[in-house]
């Protein structure tokens, strides 16, 4: 800061205090995050008489770099009131602030003002407008801007693909991908991550295979998306192949990329590979620790999960709310009710983390699995009196599931009745019907199924996938469209005959 003030003083000494470029450089240095002082930059700016739009743009950029989005808007209003005309640098800065504030209405006003100045045909302004509308989920206006730009860039197509994927319209995203005249790594990445973000994991892997036929080298974001797709599909062979490719190519693994790989191994059932990678990591952040603890919890290894949690505390990493969901789950799956309650107390008193619906759901599940139904009910009553409906719903779901698993018909009926007052979900009917069927109360089971049908609570078809020779095969209950369906049924018949 001392050197910056000296540089500012030097500008005046050398008579450059009216030089636009010199003043802009001083402002840029003063407002740089971590190195300068935005407060000092604002003081310098306020002392400049009749600042040009170039100088104003420097302070606009400074506000954005320091996350002062409201200040950006206020300064823009002041600039317009003072009769300065924004240029094709000003407008993108202000639109980025609108996007960060999720203010589509304000963005529309900037759009209208820019139209009057004839700036909307500029590619930088147009891309910024599309980004702002996309961030706000307004793809109709984003598409209109896209259609009005006379000369599109690769960024234009990427913004539209990402925008449509963000609102869940992967078909439109794929249309823009196919129509893009040039496909760089950004466009491929937008389409792949768009599929994965919308749970179209198989399509994401297929798109990655298509990209491999080009000379495009995947970046970290693409690889993270692909490992996520492998994790959800159980496509272990593909995940191992990509990991080996990274090692052979000596591509350095960042914390983020390593975490996505170990998460893939854990979800695909290879906890040893996940732990081996975790142990080799020279640096670990909270996301990495959470992924490893969650992996152990998923496999019912509660003791190891709590040991790792203790190691994390010793390493000076402070747990967050996701960490506690993982350890509660570990305790629940391992029958460690007492340890789970101790951790709940630590979460609230030591780390001052307010329990969320997910935490309450885990605790109710923890107590119910341990057949501590009275204690679980007490937690639900506490939730009911101090939280919203979604938290209560999640807790009742966990309680109902545990009651059904333990054959507690009376408590299950009570839980189902309360749950149906909160939501009309097919899972409630299915659990209760299965409980009645297991208790040989077939008339009650039919009654619940009929009630489910009359209420229009359709059950989502079951879905599973299996990887064979690097190809992921997906099966949906009730569908018979798989090309090898006849062969599959033939094998099933032979298995059935052998079992008989």
The per-residue pLDDT string of the chain (500 residues; one tens digit each, 9 = 90 and over) reads 444 444 444 444 444 445 455 555 555 555 565 655 777 777 777 777 788 888 888 888 889 988 999 999 999 999 999 889 999 999 999 999 999 999 999 999 999 999 999 999 999 999 999 999 999 999 999 999 999 999 999 999 999 999 999 999 999 999 999 999 999 999 999 999 999 999 999 999 999 999 999 999 999 999 999 999 999 999 999 999 999 989 888 888 999 999 999 999 999 999 999 999 999 999 999 999 999 999 999 998 999 999 999 999 999 999 999 999 999 999 988 889 999 999 999 999 999 998 887 888 888 888 888 888 888 888 888 777 665 566 677 788 888 888 888 878 888 888 877 877 777 667 777 877 777 777 777 787 788 777 777 665 555 555 566 656 556 666 655 555 566 777 777 777 777 777 65
Query: Is residue 476 helix, strand or coil?
Result: strand
pLDDT at position 463 is 59
**Overall residue count recorded for the chain in this entry:** 500
Query: Is residue 466 helix, strand or coil?
Result: strand
pLDDT at position 11 is 44
In 3D space, the residue among 176, 184, 145, 144 whose CA is nearest the CA of residue 160 turns out to be 176
User: Is residue 194 exposed (0-12), middle (13-18) or buried (19+ Cβ within 10 Å)?
Assistant: buried
Across-strand partners of 464? 475
The CATH number of 355-460 is which of 1.10.287, 1.10.3470, 1.25.40, 3.40.720?
A: 1.25.40
DSSP string, 79-139: HHHTTPPP-TTHHHHHHHHHHHTT-HHHHHHHHHHHHHTT-TTSHHHHHHHHHHHHHTT-H
pLDDT at position 392 is 77
Residue 381 and residue 374 in contact, taking contact as beta carbons nearer than 8 Å: no
Residue 229 and residue 235 in contact, taking contact as beta carbons nearer than 8 Å: yes
DSSP letter, residue 213? T
Domains of the chain: which residue ranges?
355-460, 463-500
pLDDT at position 266 is 95
Residue 86 and residue 53 in contact, taking contact as beta carbons nearer than 8 Å: yes
């Amino acid at each position: 800061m001392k050197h910056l003030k000296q540089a500012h003083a030097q500008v005046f000494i050398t008579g450059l205090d009216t030089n636009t470029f010199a003043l802009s450089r001083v402002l840029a240095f003063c407002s740089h995050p971590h190195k300068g002082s935005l407060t000092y930059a604002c003081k310098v700016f306020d002392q400049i008489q009749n600042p040009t739009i170039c100088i104003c743009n420097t302070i606009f950029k400074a506000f954005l770099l320091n996350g002062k989005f409201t200040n950006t808007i206020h300064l823009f209003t002041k600039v317009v009131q003072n009769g300065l005309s924004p240029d094709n640098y000003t407008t993108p800065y202000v639109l980025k602030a609108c996007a960060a504030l999720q203010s589509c209405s304000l963005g529309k006003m900037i759009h209208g003002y820019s139209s009057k100045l004839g700036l909307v045909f500029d590619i930088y302004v147009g891309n910024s407008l599309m980004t702002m509308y996309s961030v706000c989920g307004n793809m109709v206006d984003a598409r209109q801007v896209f259609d009005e730009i006379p000369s599109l860039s690769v960024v234009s197509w990427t913004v539209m693909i990402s925008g449509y994927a963000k609102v869940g319209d992967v078909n439109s995203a794929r249309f823009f991908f196919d129509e893009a005249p040039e496909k760089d790594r950004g466009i491929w990445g937008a389409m792949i991550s768009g599929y994965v973000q919308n749970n179209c994991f198989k399509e994401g892997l297929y798109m990655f295979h298509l990209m491999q036929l080009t000379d495009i080298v995947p970046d970290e974001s693409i690889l993270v998306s692909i490992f996520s797709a492998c994790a959800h599909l159980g496509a272990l062979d593909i995940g191992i192949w990509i990991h080996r490719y990274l090692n052979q190519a000596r591509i350095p693994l960042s914390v983020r990329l390593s975490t996505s790989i170990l998460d893939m191994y854990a979800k695909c059932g290879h906890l040893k590979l996940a732990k081996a990678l975790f142990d080799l990591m020279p640096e670990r952040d909270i996301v990495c620790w959470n992924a490893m603890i969650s992996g152990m919890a998923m496999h019912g290894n509660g003791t190891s999960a709590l040991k790792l949690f203790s190691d994390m505390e010793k390493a000076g990493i402070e747990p967050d709310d996701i960490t506690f969901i993982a350890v509660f789950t570990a305790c629940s799956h391992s029958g460690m009710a007492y340890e789970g309650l101790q951790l709940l107390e630590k979460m609230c008193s030591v780390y001052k983390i307010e329990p969320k619906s997910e935490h309450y759901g885990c605790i109710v599940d923890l107590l119910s699995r341990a057949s501590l139904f009275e204690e679980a009910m007490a937690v639900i009553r506490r939730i009911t009196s101090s939280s919203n409906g979604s938290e209560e719903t999640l807790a009742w779901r966990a309680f109902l599931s545990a009651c059904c698993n333990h054959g507690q018909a009376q408590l299950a009926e009570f839980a189902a009745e309360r749950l149906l007052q909160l939501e009309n979900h097919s899972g409630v009917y299915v659990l209760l019907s299965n409980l009645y069927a297991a208790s040989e109360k077939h008339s009650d089971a039919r009654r619940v199924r009929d009630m489910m049908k009359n209420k229009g609570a359709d059950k989502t078809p079951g879905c599973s996938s299996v990887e064979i020779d690097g190809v992921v095969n997906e099966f949906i209950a009730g569908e018979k469209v798989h090309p090898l369906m006849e062969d599959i049924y033939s094998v099933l018949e032979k298995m059935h005959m052998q079992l008989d």
